[in-house]
Amino acid sequence: MTATIDTAADAGAEPDARSPRRLPVPRDAKAPMRATSWTVGILILVALHWIAFESTDFRLDSLVSGAQGMGRFIAEAFPPDLSPEVLSDGIQGVLQTLWVGLLGTTVSVPFALLLAVFGARTTAPNAFVYQVARAILSFFRAVPDIVFALIFVTAVGLGPFAGVLALICHNTGVMGKLWSEAMEEVDPGPEQALGTAGANRFQVVANATIPTVLPQLTGLLLYRFDVNVRSSLVLGLVGAGGIGLLINKSIKTFQFDQMLTYLIMVLILIVVVDLASAWIRKRLQ
């Protein structure tokens, strides 16, 4: 009798609430559409690359067939010319390249900072000023630094001054855009607190926005300095001074051993700049 009652009780007992229940898996209605979008996107990407390969005459067989010419070019560059005259000219060119990159970065800071403040939605006084600042930044960023260098060479003549001016213009556009985006992502809390306390827009920017985002601005500045040192090398090829001018001259006169010496100096310069930038970033963290 007892066994019968227990069995009946077990049969009528409710399932344990802690036992797992199988729930129906919801069907993703957008899965087919998403798969179709991915397929179409991949096909478009493949088609664009095919067109690009055909338009640029991308042929690996041409590279293989020209390997002998490259080998002869490299063979003529070894050993590098380490004569005192070449080393002296190279050191002067490297230092000049460094100074062009340094001035092109630092002198553009006030212009980039001003345009960044006016070009950020969170700090611009109004929509008109925001659009004007964005247009100026877009123009300076869109024109390559080498084009600016060609323009300034016609104005001030050959030499590093044209390279400095070119980097100032281009770096103002690039760095201003990066800084404005950093300012737009800043925590609005300190800005709202100062605004509530009666601070004007200038006081809010100077005492809340810039101090909050200063480490990020500094990191972007060091990055742009690294890039500008490399850019100043290219600007030398169009007459803007620096070691790029010496490299161009050695190539035109078929003095490839001197070219290799200058390239080794450029490599040393880039490594030193990278190490210095990394050291400064570490100190600022």
Cα separation of 2 and 6, whole Å?
6
Cα separation of 101 and 233, whole Å?
9
Residues 90-115 as b/e (b if ≥16 CB within 10 A, e otherwise) read beebbebbbbbbbbbbebbbebbbeb
- pLDDT of 114 above 70: yes
Q: How far apart are the first and last CA of the chain?
A: 80
CB atoms within 10 A of CB 238: 18
CA gyration radius, the chain: 31
- Pairs from 119-124 (Cβ < 8 Å, separation ≥ 24): 119/176, 119/177, 119/180, 120/180, 120/181, 120/183, 120/184, 121/184, 122/183, 122/184, 122/186, 122/188, 122/191, 122/209, 123/183, 123/201, 123/204, 123/205, 123/209
Condensed to tens digits (0 to 9), the pLDDT of residues 166-216 reads: 999 999 999 999 998 888 887 777 666 776 776 667 777 777 777 888 888
Strands (E), 38-113: none
* Every domain of the chain and the residues it spans: 83-284
What value, to the nearest 5°, has the Cα angle with vertex 25 and ends 24 and 28? 140
Condensed to tens digits (0 to 9), the pLDDT of residues 230-272 reads: 888 888 878 777 888 888 888 888 888 888 899 999 899 888 8
Fold of the domain built from segment(s) 83-284: MetI-like fold (1.10.3720)
CB atoms within 10 A of CB 32: 9
- pLDDT of 65 above 60: yes
